[in-house]
Chains A and B, each alone.
Chain A
Amino acid sequence: MSTREQQVLDRIDRARRSRARVKDELITMAHGAGGKATHTLIEAIFLEAFRNPLLEPLDDQAVFAVTAPRLAFTTDSYVVSPLFFPGGDIGDLAVNGTVNDLAMSGARPLYLSAAFILEEGFPVADLTRITRSMARAAATAGVQIVTGDTKVVERGKADGCYINTAGVGALEHPFTLGAAQARPGDAVLVSGPIGDHGTTIMLARGELGIESDVVSDTAPLGGLVATLLAAADGVRCLRDATRGGVATILNEVARASDVAIVIDETAIPVRPEVRGAAEILGIDPLYVACEGRMVVVVDGAQADTALTALRSHPLGDQAAIIGRIAVDPPGLVLLRTEFGGTRIVDVLIGDPLPRIC
């Protein structure tokens, strides 16, 4: 072998062992084909952002030991549009949403998986931005992303980037929390102002010509839940008020527990910006999604204890008691309006369609 040939082979060998770098600006079908481009993408983008000892071997699965007597397990897919919005992006959302679903059982979130469906032509820079915010959100929530998957579909077959995350969490306490646990006399609380996320997304789509300072409330609620459960052992149910908002959660609890829920409109925290946008669009903030707020049902005797605990945490400093569980009429949510009247708060049919006049 000539010296020249040896030099070239050495250079190739060095290149093979050097740190992977994605040189393409756009995702191509090759990135999903399982070959060199896929590996480069995984190493340069995903491993770079999420790096941890369980992910590092890049095996087909992550293997870990657990000591908790019970595990919580959940999955959720994220298809938000636009992908980037004031206060967050699809990356934060994909981590926080799944972390929160775990936290609502009282579990301590441990590990997540992350599966990406990318549209051909999606900017690599956007993917990098999304994975970095996922990594930040995971660090904040105290979880690790330990396994994943990537698929690329032809242009037009998806809207940029979809993410699925699944997660496991450790249940280290004996409580059974759930929508069917509410009893007459219990108190209903929310952990903060409602409707921020949904309003942000509606305005960020730019179709309405309304400008506002409202930002998404996306946040991991594991810490807030731990604080609450440490203070109050009479917690019956925790639910994060995502799609369908607080109204939908309350209806689920009323039906599952066969109780009435009576809430007071004047007690429900809503930011003025959110209320203003809702007034203009003719929608009710009770139905607008949150991504960092939860509904708490707690033994009535512990309502103030729970409120104090929530307010001691930065994510719950504007928590409020908004209503009570009653006996009759079972399965219904009733509202005392700010005007002093009463009405039923029903589940929503379809999307909230803005009224025209």
Chain B
Amino acid sequence: MRFVDEYRDADKAQVLAAQIAGLCEPGRHYKFMEVCGGHTHTIYKHGLEDYLPENITLVHGPGCPVCVIPMGRVDDAIHIASQPDVIMTSFGDMMRVPGGNGSFLDANAAGADIRMVYSPLDALKIARDNPSKRVVFMAIGFETTAPSTAMTVLRAAAEGMENFSIFCNHVTIIPAVKAILDSPDLRLDGFIGPGHVSTVIGCRPYDFIASQYGKPLVVAGFEPLDILQSIYMILLQLKEGRCEIENQYARVVPWDGNHKALQVISETMELRPYFEWRGLGVISHSALRVRESYATFDAERLFALPGVRVADPKACQCGEVLKGVLKPWECKVFGTACTPETPIGTCMVSSEGACAAYYNFGRFTRTRVEQAVKGAIS
């Protein structure tokens, strides 16, 4: 398949793997964080770690939109969905995320009407088709998905819709990365930068990571060769004593971002003073809310929300996993009390969550799996 196969070429991967091994200093250990959950998914899905030498560790970052939603917000959403004549709409990933009182799927079984959509525009269509219902879209995601939510609000305003609103949970990537850099327990050698977020915000917002924290960052695409190449680029910077922001994903990411997308976000949304992140705690100026001028489309203003902060289950170590302090299998409940079937923490829910990806694709010791595959397929 064009535009896919060329980025999954095993021969090219062999060449890159040899170059990566050649750049590693003997005896040095390298820790790189892939910020974005999409990268985590690619790494596990394609078995990319097989190409990396032992002394490179990939740490899975906080860039999974579902994983960072705190339990209290899920409860708030279910509260909205339980009001009379409400249809809640949500991306599929959210459906199984546990709140303090069950998930969307549980709420549906109990009588709520929560529907899966593929785009906020689908939610708008549901609102048009059901004029007697109040339709709410559960808006989640980083700067990647915020523009489509913003465009939907603008469309709803242009059409004069009176029964459509969004429950805004959009978050921004930079404060989360900064929180991780300020975290004392973590020593990283560089970042694989998020690709989709960067199509919107561009590469300039990362400058401080190189200039103030002295860490290289390479914005990477989502095919396995993209990730291998960006690891090579980070290692090359380290080898040459450089510390810069580079763009491996230039075929998609413009250096200055997407002005139109940023403009629709700022037209409809503004920064919240603070927002709670699952596992990372409260981070100031890290999330978006609907602007006053679009108040009629803001579910937070239309519905009285309990807004109760729900503490994460004690046993859950999603925070440590999101910060990359723990590998998924090092969490106390990983694979025992917390499985994709009965997730305790959000990292186990989305296929982009580090724990679910690790559980589904890599929970066996790599060498044992590699040996079995090599033995059977020569």
Q: Is the CB of A332 within 8 A of B364?
A: yes
Q: Interface of B with A (CB < 8 Å)?
A: 1, 4, 8, 10, 13-14, 38, 41, 44-51, 65, 91-93, 95-96, 116, 118, 122, 140-141, 144-145, 196, 224-225, 340-341, 350-352, 359-364, 366, 368-370, 372-373, 375-377
CB distance from B121 to the nearest CB of A (A): 10
Q: Is the CB of B93 within 8 A of A353?
A: yes
CB distance from B69 to the nearest CB of A (A): 12
Closest residue of chain A to B370 (Cβ to Cβ) is A342
Size category, A interface: 35 or more
Contacting residue for B10 out of A207, A272, A328, A338, CB 8 A: A338
Closest residue of chain A to B91 (Cβ to Cβ) is A356
Q: Is the CB of A357 within 8 A of B144?
A: yes
CA–CA, A178 and B47, complex, Å: 31
Task: With A349-B340, A356-B141, A357-B38 as known contacts, state yes or no: A342 contacts B50, CB within 8 Å.
Answer: yes
Task: Indicate whether A279 reaches chain B with its CB closer than 8 angstroms.
Answer: yes
Q: Is the CB of A344 within 8 A of B65?
A: no
Q: Is the CB of A356 within 8 A of B92?
A: yes
A331-357 interface (Cβ within 8 A of B): 332, 334-344, 346, 349-351, 353-357
Interface of A is mostly: loop
Q: Is the CB of B118 within 8 A of A341?
A: no
Interface of B is mostly: helix
Q: What 6 pairs between A and B have smallest CB-CB spacing?
A: A341-B47, A340-B10, A353-B92, A262-B376, A339-B46, A343-B361
Closest residue of chain A to B38 (Cβ to Cβ) is A357
Contacting residue for B46 out of A260, A272, A341, A346, CB 8 A: A341
CB distance from A237 to the nearest CB of B (A): 17
Q: Interface of A with B (CB < 8 Å)?
A: 207-208, 260, 262, 264, 272, 275-276, 279, 282, 284, 323-324, 326, 328-329, 332, 334-344, 346, 349-351, 353-357
CA–CA, A116 and B43, complex, Å: 47
Contacting residue for B377 out of A264, A284, A357, CB 8 A: A264
CA–CA, A351 and B351, complex, Å: 12
Q: Is the CB of A339 within 8 A of B10?
A: yes
Q: Is the CB of A326 within 8 A of B369?
A: no
CA–CA, A354 and B122, complex, Å: 15
Question: What A residues does B4 contact at CB under 8 A?
Answer: 279
Q: Is the CB of B92 within 8 A of A354?
A: yes
Q: Is the CB of B13 within 8 A of A339?
A: yes
Contacting residue for B361 out of A260, A279, A344, CB 8 A: A344
Contacting residue for A282 out of B122, B140, B351, B363, CB 8 A: B351
CA–CA, A355 and B48, complex, Å: 20
CB distance from B12 to the nearest CB of A (A): 10
Contacting residue for B118 out of A207, A275, A335, A349, CB 8 A: A207
Task: With A326-B372, A355-B41, A356-B91 as known contacts, state yes or no: A343 contacts B362, CB within 8 Å.
Answer: yes
